Amino acid sequence: MASIVDRIKHYLRSPQGQRTRAKAQRLARDPRTQAKARSLLARLRGGKRH
């Protein structure tokens, strides 16, 4: 049985995995998505909510 890391690597090499990866990279560059991520991390760390 393949390990979870091997299964993830296999998925990322597939066409669907490539599309998912491209979408994640595009979202990561979006300033609105970055702001949401910073807000979530601040809440998880116990920071102030904005």
Scan for tokens 């991520």, then name that residue: 37
* pLDDT value of position 40: 94
Task: Specify whether the CB–CB gap between 6 and 14 falls below 8 A.
Answer: no
Rounded CA-CA distance 50/46 in Å is 12
Rounded CA-CA distance 31/16 in Å is 25
* pLDDT value of position 2: 81
Q: Kindly report, residue by residue over 4-41, the tens digit of the pLDDT.
A: 999 999 999 999 999 999 999 999 999 999 999 999 99
CA distances, 27 to each of 2, 12, 15, 20, 48 (Å): 30, 17, 18, 11, 24
* pLDDT value of position 14: 98
